A and B are shown apart, each in its own frame.
Chain A
Amino acid sequence: MRMTSPTCNAAKKCSETGFSSLEALAALMVLNLLLIGLFSRQLQAWQAQREALALQNTVEMAQDLWHRMQVNSEGLAAYQLVLGDKPSATDCQSKSCSPSDWAQADLADWYNALQLRMPGAQARVQTQTSAPPLVRLLLAWPQSNVDALPDSSAVADCPKQHRCWQTSWPP
């Protein structure tokens, strides 16, 4: 970069040219790149925090489902939910419910709680009562930039543009 010469005097001819426009634009581009880098880091931190919050919520929703199944151990087999389906609500407060109806009401209530915490989330619940008894839960929640986050393609049946988390436990 050409700088102003400090040795100019009357005897010695010199020319002071300052910065050229090209140099000024190059400096502006460097500043741009720095700002973009800084901005993308901030965005990444924000996304990571959102992701952490979502994962915390998924674990709690799984815990909640476990508790619900403990209350209604007779109706375990009825805890089934297909991914993308919304369970229909059953009123078990104004009248008593059979274990299978209770399971439906439970799933509907649990699904509502899930929507409050993670809007747009989908869930799949598979309960196997034959040996070995097992409950499988898959949770999928919308995420526009799935590529920027740890890979969730290992989770089978994960819908596109969604992040997925799955777990299983013996009832």
Chain B
Amino acid sequence: MKPRMPKQRGHSLVQSLLGLMLSMLVLMAAFTAFAWVQSSHRQLQTQVEVQQRLRTAMQLLRLRVQRAGAPGLAVDGTGKFKFDTLSTALLGTPNSLSLVHWTKLTPADCQGHESSYLSTIEDAFSFSKQALVCKDTAPEDSVTQELVEGLDGLSLLYAQALPGPSLQWRTADKVTLWSAVRGVQICLQAKAVGIQVPSSASCISSLKAPGLSWHGVAAFRHFVP
């Protein structure tokens, strides 16, 4: 006698198709959502990285400009204390900046090198090969080091105090008295691939390529009144 086959009840074709369609919809929605989050995350990550470069460069310049020219304390011939001031602690061009510090107040230069025999150190910042670079103080075999890479441009303006009293932003070639400069306007631009940047955003007029542009002011606190 032929054995009876057990009765098997699975899904019907319609049920299977419905289930498959629902699963597909859920998975499609999930993939779309994840793709959106991933792309937004990637864009944000790029923005963070670019801003980090600009921030590092801006903070570094601000810190050194702020400290430059700080007067040291000294004793004069009569035994009285006096302030040792530097006649010109700040000199610049449209894209380079030279800052002088007393070694006893700021022992390390912009590369972090300390000098035991120099009374003053000099930071020579400039823009070269898509980077903010700095030349150390060593009188011989001076070395230039890249401090912040991945920049597109650096542009500087100087706030000169004038009689009146009044102030004026001047380009380096128009500064008539460097000891009367009170601040530096720093404009930095970095490549921003994958970030939407307004077309009019650049603070460097000569730059046509879109990029993330930051400008800020660094106060030169120890100007000679």
Contact = CB atoms under 8 A, between A and B. Distances in A.
A98 interface: yes
B182 interface: yes
Given A53-B48, A60-B55, A98 B164 contact: yes
A83 B182 CA distance: 29
Given A42-B37, A92-B169, A31 B26 contact: yes
Contact of A16 (B9, B167, B213): B9
Contacts of A106: 217
Given A31-B26, A46-B41, A49-B48, A96 B15 contact: no
Interface string A1-20: 00000001010011111110
B198 interface: yes
Contacts of B30: 35, 39
Contact of A71 (B44, B48, B217): B217
B87 interface: no
B9 A15 contact: yes
Nearest to A115: B198
Contact of A93 (B18, B22, B168): B168
Contacts of B201: 116
Interface in A48-95: 49-50, 53, 56-57, 60, 63-64, 66-68, 70-72, 74, 92-93, 95
The interface residues of chain A, by DSSP majority, are classed as helix
B112 interface: no
Nearest to A19: B11
B213 A116 contact: yes
A145 interface: no
Contacts of A31: 26
B208 to A, nearest CB: 17
A150 B46 CA distance: 25
Contact of B169 (A16, A17, A60, A93): A93
Size class of the A contact interface (CB-based, 8 Å) = 35 or more
A170 to B, nearest CB: 15
Contacts of A97: 166-168
Interface in B4-37: 4, 6-11, 15, 18-19, 22-23, 26, 30, 33-34, 37
Contacts of B168: 92-93, 95-97
Given A21-B19, A46-B41, A98 B166 contact: yes
B37 A39 contact: yes
A21 B11 contact: yes
B6 A113 contact: no
A139 to B, nearest CB: 15
A149 interface: no
**Centre residue among B3, B6, B157, B201 by max chain A CB count within 10 A:** B6
A160 interface: no
A24 interface: yes
Contacts of A18: 8-11
Contacts of B91: none
A28 B20 CA distance: 10
B202 to A, nearest CB: 10
Given A13-B4, A15-B6, A66-B219, 12 more contacts: A16-B7, A17-B9, A28-B22, A43-B37, A46-B41, A60-B58, A63-B216, A67-B218, A92-B167, A93-B169, A96-B166, A113-B216
